[in-house]
Chains A and B, each alone.
Chain A
Amino acid sequence: DSGVTQTPKHLITATGQRVTLRCSPRSGDLSVYWYQQSLDQGLQFLIQYYNGEERAKGNILERFSAQQFPDLHSELNLSSLELGDSALYFCASSVNPDRLNTEAFFGQGTRLTVV
């Protein structure tokens, strides 16, 4: 158990809908990262938050947004869903991204299926 909690574990929804994925970081971790892994694809970095502020942005679509709340949990919002958005979505957390010598720990992911 990495200490990072993601909910829900599975989500099935229709095209055009909107969903929210939730992530609770490890206790004491201030930074949260979101990654997307499509079928047979690698892990693609989407976005990072640190202590409530956006820190880095990757290949995140405009239909997707995220935020980190004062209690440090994070939500990834996916809207106008398309079939191609079906993927595993992982959240990771780390204590201090300013240090190069710092590992990140991943949750078990949310499997999103768009039908």
Chain B
Amino acid sequence: DAKTTQPPSMDCAEGRAANLPCNHSTISGNEYVYWYRQIHSQGPQYIIHGLKNNETNEMASLIITEDRKSSTLILPHATLRDTAVYYCIVRVESNTGKLIFGQGTTLQVKP
């Protein structure tokens, strides 16, 4: 399985952009980068995913480096409700689709 490395925790000021990094140097050519978050024991929430191009949706932007060895999730204007554990996942096995969760990054948005 491709491994991911994320910082265990980060702080961000409310209203500022939160940039969450993820390293995935062993990613294969056909593996997607997925981001989920989990707010205080709720079910994980899908945020965004991408292969090689940058992606944006109503929640966040995903920037993937050209060599695909790392990516950054950007929450453009963080709010207190964005405080959560953010998971970067790059292993989605073909024909199962299962997600292997690591430890993630705990993002604390502060007023």
Complex Cα–Cα for A109 and B36 (A): 16
CB–CB A97/B100 < 8 A: no
With both beta carbons as reference points, the residue of chain A lying nearest to B47 in the complex is identified as A103
Given the complex, which residues of A lie within 8 Å of B49, measured CB to CB?
101, 103
Complex Cα–Cα for A35 and B41 (A): 13
Interface residues on B, range: 20 to 34
CB–CB A97/B101 < 8 A: no
With both beta carbons as reference points, the residue of chain B lying nearest to A95 in the complex is identified as B97
CB–CB A104/B101 < 8 A: no
13 additional A-B residue pairs with CB within 8 Å, beyond A92-B44, A97-B95: A43-B44, A45-B98, A92-B43, A94-B97, A100-B92, A100-B94, A102-B97, A103-B34, A103-B46, A104-B97, A104-B99, A106-B43, A106-B45
The answer to the question of B9 belonging to the interface, with a C-beta cut-off of 8 Å to chain A, is no
The answer to the question of B30 belonging to the interface, with a C-beta cut-off of 8 Å to chain A, is yes
Given the complex, which residues of B lie within 8 Å of A107, measured CB to CB?
43
Interface string of A78-92 (1 = CB under 8 A from B): 000000000010101
CB–CB B45/A2 < 8 A: yes
Complex Cα–Cα for A106 and B99 (A): 11
With both beta carbons as reference points, the residue of chain B lying nearest to A102 in the complex is identified as B97
Given the complex, which residues of A lie within 8 Å of B41, measured CB to CB?
37, 88, 109, 111
Complex Cα–Cα for A4 and B42 (A): 13
- Name the distance in Å between B13's Cβ and chain A's nearest Cβ: 27
The answer to the question of A71 belonging to the interface, with a C-beta cut-off of 8 Å to chain B, is no
The answer to the question of A31 belonging to the interface, with a C-beta cut-off of 8 Å to chain B, is yes
Complex Cα–Cα for A96 and B104 (A): 25
Interface string of A40-79 (1 = CB under 8 A from B): 0011010010000001101000000000000000000000
Given the complex, which residues of A lie within 8 Å of B45, measured CB to CB?
2, 106
CB–CB A97/B97 < 8 A: yes
The answer to the question of B11 belonging to the interface, with a C-beta cut-off of 8 Å to chain A, is no
Complex Cα–Cα for A97 and B58 (A): 24
Complex Cα–Cα for A69 and B41 (A): 28
CB–CB A42/B102 < 8 A: yes
CB–CB B44/A97 < 8 A: no
With both beta carbons as reference points, the residue of chain B lying nearest to A107 in the complex is identified as B43
